[in-house]
Structure 1
Amino acid sequence: MNTPRHFAARVRPWLFALALAAAFGQSAAPAGAAEPCVGGVAPHLQEAGIADIRAFARGQGKRILSFVGYSAAGYEDQDAMLAEAGRVLDVHSPARTLINIGATADGIGAVYALARSRGFVTIGIVSSLARDEKLPVSPCVDEVFFIKDATWGGRLPGSRRLSPTSAALVAVSHRVVGIGGGEVARDEMLAARAAGVPVRFLAADMNHAIARDKARNKGLAEPVDFRGAAHGALAVAR
């Protein structure tokens, strides 16, 4: 497991970060990023469990604030989403807080660039499927923890138990903020709230065009409600 000294020693020039991003099929600055991630720490990738993530947080001397929401579904108003995320970050100190999302730059992952620009150390907790399928991780995440998992998260099919990835997120988070979100985000927020973790939900529409295209590709009627599965379960939770 990495100590703070090892973490600091991984600081590399931005050219190295670009090379790593290219190796994983990434662009230097994902669409919707608040600011390009120039300089700083290149993403460090590892398979891990709950104990490893907790040890990393302890080594940093920080608590974990997790953002959940839409990923590939995107946001209808990404600027509004980033503004909401910025207001959340305003009340947290980079000296005491790690920002966790889902490792990729899609959707809620745009918050990585915003957090990095404000001096936060960023981490990502994501299913090992992302590594196996070679999905690009955000160049604005410092430490990526791949959780061995046959699913992308949420509750396991036919069960009330969380998948390993979602269980890890709930177990290590000291606070969870959801900005919109589908079934996985819903399940994680409900489980976190049941575990006594403070949860805040902010309503947001998924990207309308993406949702319509997805429905058409599946031969389904185009949706008329874009608020996501999390909205019905958590819209009154603040």
Structure 2
Amino acid sequence: MSHNCEEEYYEHDHIHDHTAPIPTNPNQSLYAQIDTSKVLCLNAVARGIPPHTDFSRAFLKPQDRRFDCSLYLESDADCQLVVHVPFVGNCKLFSIILRTNKTDPGLSSPKTIKLFKNYNQSIDFDTLSSSDADIQIQHPEDVGITGTLFNDDEDTFVEHFLPRRVFQNCSSLTLFFENNWSGDQDDHCILYYLEVRGEFTGRLTPHNGAPVSTIYEAAPNPLDHQKLESEVDEIEMGM
């Protein structure tokens, strides 16, 4: 059985809820409802997958491969990590299940994780750091694994229950791994497995029959903006 985190912390209204959460089951996995082609990872290196392959394969795994540790996502420059998970339609989220690393030389267990529902701003570390999360959770210290190819210990998985009244009509979920238990920013963190559980409520409604798409500009290029402004000026002068 996975490790359960029953305490829910609602950052936006400062309410602690210590009531027992509603249990979930594997049939409530939203794995099939994730738009893997649009998953975004920042400050991340995917281990164990071929080059030019979707990063999502490193940590979004079918349940029959949840014990496979040969594929994983590792933070790159420091301990922080961002994972943006879009769905093919609207969902009601019940919980997330994480499998991370234990503390080891050069590694430290993730501590604070901020969750954002339908985040529609530029997805980058500065913007996420200054934004109010829909919920902030604390991952338990030193619960996880280190560097094995296969580990079937269910207690290394942690289920964090989400406030269902908040995570309705959810078209995407953004996770910001903000810090770690060691307090050393140079210690990396590893995400072996992420599972989102909930209920699929319907496909996204396109505007005018065209698919909805969002472009995230992680590192805007000022020269591009100058070029666009110049083109607008030329059009206006020619009218």
Tell me the TM-score range normalised by the shorter chain.
under 0.3
Q: Which is richer in helix?
A: 1
TM-score normalised according to structure 1 size = 0.25
TM-score normalised according to structure 2 size = 0.25
Which of the pair has the greater relative contact order for Cα pairs under 8 Å at 6+ separation? 2
